[in-house]
Amino acid sequence: PRLTVITGSASGIGRALADQLRARGEEVVGVDLRDADVLADLATAEGRAAAVDAVRALGGGGVDALVTCAGVAEPSPLMVRINYFGTVEFVEALRPVLAASPSPRVAVIGSISGTMGNDERTRVACLAGDEEAGVARAAELTEAGRPHSIYPSTKAALAEWARRTAVAPGWADAGIALNVVAPGVVLTPMTTGLFEDPVMRELMDAAVPMPLNGYAPPEAVAAVLAFLVSEANTHVTGQVVYVDGGAEVTQRPADL
């Protein structure tokens, strides 16, 4: 059976995807801080390297797909380490293993917030591969009372990295599809706390209007991921797929 590695598999979107893939008879290797096949902290270079080694060992015959759901929404410079570098370094390290699969697929989780204004210096540091510069800039933003611009910066950088990388040598030409799924608001442990606060809920409703079916259950995002990393996805790559009930089109011109 096909083997998919999922980071952030213990909760929310990653967990819903693991359930869906197992239900269709596929194998899943989960990577998370807890409740996973591979316990690793993707915020650190050592954690990422240990996770890559463990995944290679558990993968045995190979890894067919990789989905990176590990992320945090609590504003802090740590977001640069987890959301961006914990994704990009991990995906890049597993590229050779994936390239050996007959139908390799990668999907990373971005966010609708990546379209909503971000801090250019944080984004540029991420894209330059300079983790310490990104963390230092995020610390500056935190001190300046602008910690909320860190999350969108990491997600915008992730989308840009994926679009560039999808068609770079070693990816599309090796048969690897690489896409971004950008959710709107998803009801997971990451967000439920936010909605206990009615003021926050009102802000969220205004910032991320989701006319099609409202806030999404994690299963809705998982279903799109499950297609993108399936053998059936032979020609979608380098795309940012918004799973956001229409939020993105309400905020950007429709005539791209």
Residue 42 interacts with ligand NAI (CB under 6 A): yes or no: yes
Q: Give the type of residue at 49.
A: A
Q: How many other C-beta atoms are found inside a 10 Å radius of the C-beta of residue 150? A: 27
State in angstroms the smallest separation of the CB of 183 from ligand NAI. Answer: 4
- 151 in catalytic set: yes
Residue 41 interacts with ligand NAI (CB under 6 A): yes or no: yes
Residue 190 interacts with ligand NAI (CB under 6 A): yes or no: yes
Among 10, 94, 106, 107, binds ligand NAI (CB under 6 A): 10
The H or E element that residue 80 is part of is none
Helix residue ranges per DSSP H, the chain: 12-23, 45-59, 78-79, 86-99, 120-127, 131-143, 150-166, 189-192, 198-207, 218-228, 247-251
Per the CB < 8 A criterion, the answer to whether 207 and 116 are in contact is yes
Residue 11 interacts with ligand NAI (CB under 6 A): yes or no: yes
Cα(225)–Cα(123) distance, rounded to whole angstroms? 25
Q: Give the type of residue at 46.
A: E
State in angstroms the smallest separation of the CB of 204 from ligand NAI. Answer: 9
Alpha carbon 49 to its chain's center? 18
Restricting to residues 65-104, name those near ligand NAI by CB under 6 A: 69-73, 82, 86
Among 38, 66, 180, 185, binds ligand NAI (CB under 6 A): 185
Residue 183 interacts with ligand NAI (CB under 6 A): yes or no: yes
Write the interaction track for ligand NAI spanning residues 194-233; mark x where CB under 6 A is met and - where it is not. ------------------------x---------------
Write the interaction track for ligand NAI spanning residues 110-149; mark x where CB under 6 A is met and - where it is not. -x--------------------------------------
Residue 241 interacts with ligand NAI (CB under 6 A): yes or no: no
243 phi/psi in degrees, rounded to 5: -115, 80
Q: Across the strands, what pairs with 216? A: 186
Dihedral sign from CA coordinates of 32, 176, 110, 24 = negative
Interaction site with ligand NAI (CB under 6 A): 8, 10-14, 32-33, 41-43, 69-73, 82, 86, 109, 111, 183, 185-186, 188-191, 218
